[in-house]
Structure 1
Amino acid sequence: MGKTFGLVLSAGISALALSAGGASAKDLVFGLIANNMAFPYNVVLADGFKEQAAAKGVKVIVLDSKMSMETQANQMDDLLLQKVDGIAFMPNDSVAVTSLVDKVAAAGVPIVASAVPVGDPAKTPVDYVYPALTALVSTNDVDAGRIAGEYSANLLPKDREVKIAVVEGAPGFSVVGQREQGFEAALKKAGIQYKIVSSQPSDWTPESGEQICQNALTSDPDIDMIFSHADDMALGCAKAIDAAGSQALLIATGGGSDRGANAIKLDEIDASVCTQPKLIGAKSFDILYAAATDPASAKKGQYVSYDMFAVTKDNLANCPLTGW
């Protein structure tokens, strides 16, 4: 729930078209559409994409759709008119963007969904890739929740029912259900008896996390653990736990941020899960580059993810920090 921009072209600059046998790096122009560059996670993802592009001499047009489906659709049309050689984007609405992906694919332009799936996540597995996509490059969020749940199971008592409060991500994001699914499945597998006493949506900010946790602890001061769907809300939640004098464990996923790492170092957050938006951006570029330079060998429907692990005070150095 995502730095200095280099090699960003204005929306009016045209790309050279692909030749039948692919294009050389100096000819390539890619489009990258973020869903909202107000989120640090998304800025870091874009950085990973642009750094790979700079290394290959590829020009990049970076656009911000500001969470508007209408804007994202118009930006996609503009990139096609400019004859870009590939498009990576963070979908604003997983279902609504299917028609956009179909249009780009029909134009013969490789397209990669970064961090957010295409298709109805409620009806498809976490590794489902919409057939018209060249690839989905994403964190496996069921796995991220599972890792948080496995770590939690090692800390929670097994001789009684424990009380857990959940700070959800924002409504409408597929990661909300996926992270919770993996988390609860891990607890059940470990034999933890638990009750979710509170589960409230946030807006992905520390402020909302603090308010949600404050309300949960006021309603039930005996909460054993709070599970946050991302580091940002956990930062605010840590303040609420401290103010309430609570001994509740605080476990997050969607981690790897500088501020989250610092909170773990200071014992404000017990653990999180290392996620890497910069790597998602870099891998998204690599797949587009391969498809643009060797279209004859380009594959469709690739699912690309990466390994994760629980981040604690003992292994902070193992999770790459990239400034988000």
Structure 2
Amino acid sequence: MESLIKKLRLAGLAAASVLAMNTASAKDITLAYVANSMQFPYDVALGKGFQDACKELGCKALVLDARASVERQGNVIDDLIAQKVDGIAMIAVDSVVARTWVDRAADSNIPFVAAAVQIGDPNKVPIRQVYGKLTALVTTDDVVAGERAGELAARILPKDHVAKIGIVEGAPGFAVVRQRTEGFKNALEKAGVKYQIVASQPTDWTPAKGESVCQNMLTANSDLDLVFSQADDMALGCARALRSSGSKAKLIATAGGSRLGNEAIRNGGIDGSVCTRPQMVGRLAAQALYDAVTGKNTRRAQFVTYDTPVITKANLTVCPAEW
């Protein structure tokens, strides 16, 4: 009996020691998030979600700004690897160049998560493919987001003629530009909509550029039926262009769920969008890194996403603004 009690005591001490070590290791874990540019509300919101998740998990979060510079982002990643941080998440400024950074982190056994942007050539990387040396790609499923925007467009486009559509794209070099357009077209074709893409122009993800692009489209095609903006920010600028020109074109977007975007939907400036949750992306990125560092989940090349419902004036509550 005394022997059994002694064994139980030893087991209890061992369990307490393991718990203490786990608690200490959580406090010692440092995870870094490197934004594309903190001038973008999306990047800021993702960082908030990342920090909030780290706080709940008991680890330390570093949030760093590449200021939309490939060189600066590369230098930041190199510094983090040299400092031996425990994990890195990043919105890549250049998804092709970023592959070398992921490789270097992998060589140093540092888990790496791509947030919102695939790693690899955006014109060649298959949809939903995750670069093999990544812990995970944590992102909106942008093909699905495009499809949901296309489904909304199919409901509101005219049926008595071939609909003329203009597409306000994101910045060149992002795989999401191709993916959102692909999903959008897939949905229109599945619905049997007769349409023509009469204009498709890139932006820098800003409202100002969205306004400029839409003005150009309306000048060349005054009878546009619909504008599809690949993000809320450009849609806000496009709404101004539509309003000032007196155009009756419908306006829908993806990457919705921003405070200003939701307000524009409520006021009728934007007809609808597709919910995007950057804070959720940040949370999921931090969790994936934490699980990899602590050994809870050491799988590579995971694809991690979340639900993205269509949002209109009738159901804004399903997508509370996160940015």
Whether TM exceeds 0.5 here: the answer is: yes
Task: Quote the residue 1:226 is aligned against.
Answer: 227
Task: Quote the residue 1:28 is aligned against.
Answer: 29
For the Cα contact (< 8 Å) 1:169–1:203, is it kept in 2? Answer: yes
Deviation at 1:21, TM superposition (A): 9.3
Deviation at 1:203, TM superposition (A): 1.6
CA RMSD of aligned residues (A): 1.6
What's the TM-score, normalizing by structure 1? 0.90
Task: Quote the residue 1:216 is aligned against.
Answer: 217
Task: Quote the residue 2:53 is aligned against.
Answer: 52
- Using the aligned pairs only, state the percent identity: 52
Task: Quote the residue 2:180 is aligned against.
Answer: 179
Task: Quote the residue 2:238 is aligned against.
Answer: 237
Deviation at 1:280, TM superposition (A): 0.4
Query: 1:315 is paired with a residue of what secondary structure?
Result: helix
Q: Structure 2: any 5+ residue segments left out of the alignment? A: 1-20
Taking the aligned partners of 1:70 and 1:268, their CA distance within structure 2 comes to: 38
Query: 1:163 is paired with a residue of what secondary structure?
Result: strand
Taking the aligned partners of 1:61 and 1:238, their CA distance within structure 2 comes to: 36
Taking the aligned partners of 2:249 and 2:36, their CA distance within structure 1 comes to: 34
Query: 1:188 is paired with a residue of what secondary structure?
Result: helix
Could you list the per-position Cα deviations for residues 85-143 of structure 1 after superposition, in whole angstroms to 9, with x for gaps in the alignment? 11111111111111111111111111111111111232222211000000000111111
Task: Quote the residue 1:298 is aligned against.
Answer: 298
Deviation at 1:302, TM superposition (A): 0.4
Which structure: larger Rg?
A: 2
Task: Quote the residue 2:83 is aligned against.
Answer: 82
Task: Quote the residue 1:258 is aligned against.
Answer: 259
Tell me which amino acid in the other structure corresponds to 2:70: M
Task: Quote the residue 1:6 is aligned against.
Answer: none
The within-5 A match list for 1:68-79 is 68-79=69-80
Query: 2:303 is paired with a residue of what secondary structure?
Result: strand
Taking the aligned partners of 1:66 and 1:315, their CA distance within structure 2 comes to: 35
Taking the aligned partners of 1:289 and 1:55, their CA distance within structure 2 comes to: 11
For the Cα contact (< 8 Å) 1:21–1:294, is it kept in 2? Answer: no
Taking the aligned partners of 1:303 and 1:23, their CA distance within structure 2 comes to: 30
The within-5 A match list for 1:54-133 is 54-133=55-134
The within-5 A match list for 1:184-203 is 184-203=185-204
Taking the aligned partners of 1:73 and 1:246, their CA distance within structure 2 comes to: 44
Q: Structure 1: any 5+ residue segments left out of the alignment? A: 1-19
Task: Quote the residue 2:16 is aligned against.
Answer: none
Deviation at 1:22, TM superposition (A): 11
Task: Quote the residue 1:167 is aligned against.
Answer: 168
For the Cα contact (< 8 Å) 2:275–2:319, is it kept in 1? Answer: yes
Query: 1:281 is paired with a residue of what secondary structure?
Result: helix
1:315 matched to 2:320? The reply is no
Taking the aligned partners of 2:202 and 2:91, their CA distance within structure 1 comes to: 21
Could you list the per-position Cα deviations for residues 196-228 of structure 1 after superposition, in whole angstroms to 9, with x for gaps in the alignment? 112111121111111221222222221111111
Tell me which amino acid in the other structure corresponds to 2:69: S
Taking the aligned partners of 1:145 and 1:76, their CA distance within structure 2 comes to: 31
Taking the aligned partners of 1:258 and 1:84, their CA distance within structure 2 comes to: 33
Q: In terms of mean alpha carbon deviation, does 144-153 or 154-163 score higher?
A: 154-163
Task: Quote the residue 2:8 is aligned against.
Answer: none
Could you list the per-position Cα deviations for residues 223-243 of structure 1 after superposition, in whole angstroms to 9, with x for gaps in the alignment? 111111111111111111112
Query: 1:243 is paired with a residue of what secondary structure?
Result: helix
Taking the aligned partners of 2:238 and 2:32, their CA distance within structure 1 comes to: 37
Could you list the per-position Cα deviations for residues 53-87 of structure 1 after superposition, in whole angstroms to 9, with x for gaps in the alignment? 11122112221111222222221121122121111
Could you list the per-position Cα deviations for residues 254-310 of structure 1 after superposition, in whole angstroms to 9, with x for gaps in the alignment? 111000000000011000000111000000000111111116x41111000111111
Q: Please identify runs of 4+ aligned residues in structure 1 that moved more than 6 A.
A: 20-23
Tell me which amino acid in the other structure corresponds to 1:146: E
For the Cα contact (< 8 Å) 1:234–1:269, is it kept in 2? Answer: yes
Query: 1:181 is paired with a residue of what secondary structure?
Result: helix
What's the TM-score, normalizing by structure 2? 0.90
Taking the aligned partners of 1:23 and 1:70, their CA distance within structure 2 comes to: 35
Query: 2:125 is paired with a residue of what secondary structure?
Result: coil
Taking the aligned partners of 1:93 and 1:186, their CA distance within structure 2 comes to: 29
Query: 1:226 is paired with a residue of what secondary structure?
Result: strand
Could you list the per-position Cα deviations for residues 13-68 of structure 1 after superposition, in whole angstroms to 9, with x for gaps in the alignment? xxxxxxx9997211111121111111110000000000011112211222111122
Deviation at 1:180, TM superposition (A): 0.7
Taking the aligned partners of 1:52 and 1:138, their CA distance within structure 2 comes to: 16
Taking the aligned partners of 2:193 and 2:310, their CA distance within structure 1 comes to: 19
Task: Quote the residue 1:17 is aligned against.
Answer: none
Tell me which amino acid in the other structure corresponds to 1:299: R
Q: What is the total number of aligned residue pairs between the two structures?
A: 303
Task: Quote the residue 1:13 is aligned against.
Answer: none
Query: 1:103 is paired with a residue of what secondary structure?
Result: helix
